[in-house]
Amino acid sequence: MATLQQKIAEKFLARLAKSKDVDAATIVELRTLLADNKKPKADDFVRIFSLPAGGDIK
Amino acid sequence: MIKLETAHIEEVRGIRKLDIDFQKSTFGISGPNGSGKSGVIDAIEFGLTGQIGRLTGRGTKGLSVSEHGPHVDKTKFPDAAFVELKVLLPGIGKSATITRKVSSPKKPKIVPGDEDVKAALAEVADHPEVTLSRREILRFILVEPTKRSEEIQTLLKLDEIGQTRGALNTAQNKLQAAQGTAAALVQSSRDALQLHLQIPTLLSADLLEAVNKRRKVLGLLEIAELTADTKLDAGISANDKTSDFNKKSALGDLNALAEAAKKFPELARKQAAEILAELAKLEADPALLTALQKRTLIEKGLDLVDGPECPLCDTPWEDEQHLRSHLKAKLAKSEAARKLQQSLLNNGTAITQEAIRVIGLLVPVQKLADTLGDGPFTTLLTLWKADLEALKASFATVDGLTGLKARLTTGWLGIPEAFSKRLKALTEKIEAKPDQTATLDAQTFLTTAQLRLSDYREAMRKNKAAEIALKSVKAAYDTYCNVLEDELNTLYEEVQKDFSTFYRELNGDDESKFTAKLTPSEGKLDFDVNFYERGLFPPGAYHSEGHQDGMGVCLYLALMKRLFGDRFTFALLDDVVMSVDVGHRCACRRRSACPRSPPRERPRGSRSA
C-alpha cells in the first residue's frame, strides 16, 4: 500500500509536470530527490530550481 | 503487520519472569491495581519497538527506558531485563523470534535474520502507535483543534509531508532573496552602462546610435543589430587597446558618485530606523529576545536533524519524529518572535540592495583611481567596497543585524572620512587632463562600453536564471500545498466516515443515527459529533465519559485503518475502555475483531478479573 507521502509526491509531480513554469529536467531531479531522500532539505530544492543562466537584451 | 504467538518477559517494569501464550489470538488481561497488567503492555511494546510509551511524552521528564525500563530491583543490571516475542508475520508467511534487551534497545536479535523478516519487524518498530493507553486516547478527542491536528498528523506519519512543504517554503524564500540581489546587480550594471553611453534610455537603438557614432570616427563598420554576441569594440585591434581610460566617461562616473553621495546620509534611513526600533523592542523585552534567540537556534537545529539525537544538545530521543515534533512545538510558541524576525530580515534585505547600488558606483571610480595612480584613494575605495560586501552577510541574519546596532545609529554606509576630499581631488585631476583626441576618445569609449555591456549581460543572465528559479519554486510550492490539502481533505473525509460507522456499531442501541464532522483548516482540526440528533457539538460538550472513551477507540481504529489498511491486525490497548459499560465494551471487542473476549490468563499476582 502506497503511503500518503508517496501518493502526495506522485500527484505533486504529475500536476507539476503540467505547469509551464517547471521544465521536464527539473521534474526528473525532483522525482529523484523525493524518491531517494525522505527528508529533503531547502538547499536541495534551491539547487534543483537554480537553472543555468539565459536571456539577453531585447 | 503481525500476530503475537508467545512472550517471555524477564525483569521488565513490574514483572520478574512471565511466559504468555497468546495463540495468535485476541488476548485480555485483567487484575487488581498493581498486579502488572500495564507492565505486560509495556514489555510487549518494548519488545516490538524498543520504546515504552508510558516513559515518553508529556509529563515524563526524567523518565527513560534505560533507567526505568528494568524491574525496580534490577535498575543497575539492565542486561538482565529483556523481552522475547515469537510473532507470526502473515504478509510473508513466516514466524520469527525477536529478543530485545533494555541495555541495547535499538539492537534486537531477530531469528531468522531474513531481510523480509527484518523489514516486517522494522515496520512495526516504526509504529509505536500500535500501543494505545487510556492516557493517550483522549488526546484525539478532548484537545484543542491545533493539538488534535498535530497529534493526528504525527500518528499518520504526516511529519515528512510537513517537512517537505517547509523545505519548499524555505527554498522559495531563499530564491526570492537571491532574485532580489540579482535584480539589484542588474540595475547597478545597467546604470553604469547607461552612464557611460550618456543615452536617455537603454534601448538597443539608442545604444547603437552612441556606439556607431564612435565607430564612424575610427572608420569601423556600423553595427546594424544588437545580438547576444555583438562586440561593440569589434574591429579595434588588441594593439590599439592600450587603455580603456575615457575622459568624458570618467568624469561621468565621478559626477554620478558625487551626486549620489549627496544623498548617502538619507539612504535606507527609514529601514535602518525600523531595525533600530525593533532591536530596542527586543532589548526591552527579554522574553521576546530569548524567544528569538531560541528560534534562530532551533531553526538551525531542525535543519541539522538527521536521526534521533538532538544536534543542539546531543540528547538522544526515542526517534527522530519525536525530536522534530519537540523542536517544532518550541518554534510554534514564538509567533511574535517570528514576525519580528521577518521584519528585521526584510529591512536588512532592502538595505543590502542599496549597498549593491553603492558598490556599483564605487567600482568604476576605484578602477579610475588605480589607473591614474591615486594609491590612497584606491585603497580607501577598495576597503570601503570590501566593508560593504561583508555588510551584506550581516544584514541577512538577526545576529548580524544585532551586531550592527552602533553602525546603524551612526550611518550604516560607513562613509570613509576622506572620501569627499579624495573624490574631489581625483575629479580635479581628470578635469585638468587635456581632452583626448577624437580617435582615442572613440577607442576608449568603445572598449569601456564593451566591458560594461558584458557586465550588464552577465547580470541579466544571472537575474533571468534567478527569476526562472523563483517562478519554478513558487509553482512547486503552490502545487505541493494544493495537492497536500486535497489529499488531507480526502483522508479526513474517510476517517470521518469510518469513525461514524464504527461508533454507530458500538452504540447502535441508542445512537444509530450518529454522525461526526472533522473540519481541517490551517493547522487546525475541528471535531464535532452529533448528540442524539440535537446538532453537532464538541465531543466533550454533552457525551458521557464512557461515550468519549468509545469515540477515542473508534477514531483510533479509523486512523489505523488509514495507516495500515487491511493489514492492521495488532494493537495493544491499555485501559482504553475503562469508563465504558459492559454492553458497549462487548461491542468494542467485536469492533476490534475480538470474538473470544474472556481473559484466558492472568499475570502472576492477578487477583480478580
Distance from CA of A24 to the nearest CA of B (A): 11
Give every CB contact of residue B588 below 8 A, 6+ residues apart in sequence.
Answer: B506, B550, B553, B577, B580, B594
- Which three-class secondary structure state does DSSP give residue A24? helix
Residue of B nearest to A15 (CA): B479
pLDDT of res. B24: 81
pLDDT (mean) for B501-525:
84
No. of helices (H) and no. of strands (E), chain A? 3, 0
Residue numbers of B between 542 and 581 with CB closer than 8 Å to A: 562, 564-565, 567
CA distances (Å), B425 to each of B325, B361, B421, in order? 63, 17, 6
Residue B491 contacts A where some CB pair is shorter than 8 Å: yes
- Which residues in chain B are contacts of A19 at CB distance < 8 A? 475, 479
Rounded CA-CA distance B456/B608 in Å is 87
Judged by a CB distance cut-off of 8 A, whether residue B157 touches chain A is yes
Whether chain A has a CB inside 8 Å of the CB on B472: the answer is: yes
Residues B165, B170, B176, B182, Cα dihedral to 10°:
-130
Q: Are B13 and B54 in contact (CB under 8 A)?
A: no
Mean pLDDT of B488-515: 88
Closest CA to B60 of B74, B83, B44, B42: B42
Q: In this structure, what C-alpha cell is assigned to residue B80?
A: 538482565
Residue B186 with chain A: CB contacts under 8 Å: none
Q: Which of B462, B305, B303, B480 is nearest to A30 (CA)?
A: B480
User: CA of B476 to nearest chain A CA: how many angstroms apart?
Assistant: 7
Question: Which chain B residues touch A21 with a CB distance below 8 Å?
Answer: 471-472, 474-475
Q: Which of B126, B156, B160, B567 to mutate to test the interface with A (most CBs of A within 10 A)?
A: B160
Q: At what angle do helices B438-506 and B204-217 cross, to 10 degrees?
A: 160
Average pLDDT over every residue of B541-560: 86
> pLDDT-based confidence at B61, cuts 50/70/90?
low
| Cβ neighbours, 10 Å, residue B344 | 22
Sheet architecture: strand order including B15-21: B15-21, B3-12, B82-89, B94-101, B109-111
B435 or A57, which is more confident?
Answer: B435
DSSP state of B70: B
Asked if B83 and B41 touch (Cβ cutoff 8 Å), the reply is: no
Low-confidence residues of chain A, pLDDT below 50? 1, 53-58
Q: What are phi and psi of B536, to 5 degrees?
A: -95, 130
pLDDT of B307 above 80? no
**Residue-averaged pLDDT of chain B:** 86
Say how far apart CA B573 and CA B53 lie, in whole Å. Answer: 12
Cα gap B557→B466, rounded to integer Å: 48
Query: B462 and A22: CB-CB below 8 Å?
Result: no
Helix (H, G, I), strand (E, B) or coil at B524: strand
Q: Do B476 and A52 touch (CB under 8 A)?
A: no
A10, A12, A44, best to mutate vs chain B, most B CBs in 10 Å: A12
**A8 vs B contacts (CB less than 8 Å):** 161, 480, 483-484, 487
Q: Which of A21, A27, A31, A36 to mutate to test the interface with B (most CBs of B within 10 A)?
A: A21
User: Which of B204, B466, B567 is opposite residue A57, by nearest beta carbon?
Assistant: B204
- So what's the pLDDT on residue A18? 93
Arithmetic mean of pLDDT, B297-310: 80
With an 8 Å Cβ cutoff, are B479 and A52 in contact? no
Q: Are B371 and B250 in contact, with CB atoms under 8 Å apart?
A: no
User: Residue B57 — very low, low, confident or very high, per pLDDT cuts 50/70/90?
Assistant: low
B572-574 and B131-133 beta bridge pairing: parallel
Mean pLDDT of B86-97: 91
As a whole number of angstroms, the distance between CA B413 and CA B391 comes to 9
Quick one: CA torsion of B544, B547, B552, B553, rounded to 10 degrees?
150
Average of per-residue pLDDT across B255-279 = 94
Q: How far is B334 from chain A (nearest CA, A)?
A: 21
Closest CA to B464 of B475, B474, B476, B472: B472
Task: Tell me: pLDDT of B53 over 60.
Answer: yes
Which residues 300-319 in chain B show a CB within 8 A of chain A? 303, 306
Taking an 8 Å cut-off on Cβ atoms, the answer to whether B464 and A1 are in contact is no
- Which residues in chain A touch residue B463, judged by CB atoms under 8 angstroms apart? 55
> pTM for this structure?
0.70
Higher pLDDT, A14 or B283: A14
Confidence class of residue B485 from pLDDT cuts 50, 70 and 90? confident
What is the predicted pLDDT for the residue at B601?
39
Q: How confident is the model at residue B81 (pLDDT cuts 50, 70, 90)?
A: very high
Q: Could you write out the DSSP letters of every residue in B89-150?
A: ETTTTEEEEEEEETTSTT--EEES--HHHHHHHHHHHT-GGGEEEHHHHTTTTSS-HHHHHH
The pLDDT score that the predictor gives to residue A58 is 36
Q: What are phi and psi of B586, to 5 degrees?
A: -60, -40
Res. B597: pLDDT tops 50: no
Q: What are the backbone dihedrals phi and psi of residue B520, each rounded to the nearest 5 degrees, phi first? A: -80, 140
Contacting B with CB below 8 Å, chain A residues are: 1, 3-5, 7-9, 11-12, 15-16, 19, 21-23, 26, 30, 34, 38-46, 49-58
Q: What share of chain A is helix, strand, coil (3-state, %, to 5)?
A: 60, 0, 40
C-alpha pair distances (Å), B581 with each of B346, B584, B600: 59, 6, 21
Query: Which range, of B218-227, B457-466, B496-505, B517-526, averages the lowest pLDDT?
Result: B517-526
Element (H, E) at B10: strand B3-12
Report how far residue B580's alpha carbon sits from residue B576's, in angstroms, rounded to the nearest whole number: 9
Alpha carbon separation from B66 to B60, B175, B313 (Å, rounded): 14, 45, 19
Query: Would you call A1 and B567 a contact, using CB atoms and an 8 Å cutoff?
Result: yes
Specify the pLDDT at position A55. Answer: 41
Residue whose C-alpha is closest to residue B282's, from B408, B401, B406: B401
Instruction: Report pLDDT for A40.
Output: 86
The answer to whether B569 and B88 have CB atoms below 8 angstroms apart is: no
Q: Tell me which chain A residues have a C-beta less than 8 angstroms from the C-beta of B168.
A: 42, 45
Residue A31 per-residue DSSP state: H
| B367 vs B567, residue with greater confidence | B367
Facing A19 at nearest CB: one of B171, B227, B475: B475
Q: Nearest-CA distance from B458 to chain A in Å?
A: 9
pLDDT in tens, B372-391: 999 999 999 999 999 999 99
Contact with chain A for residue B199, Cβ under 8 A: no
- Which residues of chain B does A56 touch, with a Cβ-Cβ cutoff of 8 Å? 227-228, 457, 460-461
Burial group, residue B373, by CB count within 10 angstroms (0-12, 13-18, 19+): exposed
Q: Count of CB atoms within 10 A of residue B160's CB?
A: 18
- Residue of B62 and B429 predicted with greater confidence: B429
Secondary structure element (H or E) that encloses residue B4, with its range: strand B3-12
Q: B436 — contact with chain A (CB < 8 Å)?
A: no
- CB hemisphere CA count around B430 (13 angstroms): 24
Distance (Å, rounded) from C-alpha B134 to C-alpha B579?
10
Chain B nearest CA to A36, separation (Å): 13
Phi/psi at B111 (5° precision): -130, 125
Task: Summarize the confidence of residues B221-230 as an average pLDDT.
Answer: 92
Cα B217 to Cα B132, B210, B222, B252, B353, distances in angstroms: 89, 12, 11, 21, 39
d(CA B232, CA B222) in angstroms, rounded, equals 10
* Beta-sheet strands, E only, within B425-554: 516-521, 524-530, 536-537
Looking at the complex, report in whole angstroms how far the Cα of residue B150 sits from the nearest Cα belonging to chain A: 16
The predicted pLDDT at position B523 comes to 64
The three-state secondary structure class of B185 is helix
Helices (H) and strands (E) in chain B, counts: 20, 10
Instruction: Identify the pLDDT of residue B498.
Output: 92
Which position has the grid cell 569627499?
B420
Kindly state the average pLDDT of the residues B467-483: 94
**Contact B183/A at CB under 8 A:** no
pLDDT on residue A52: 61
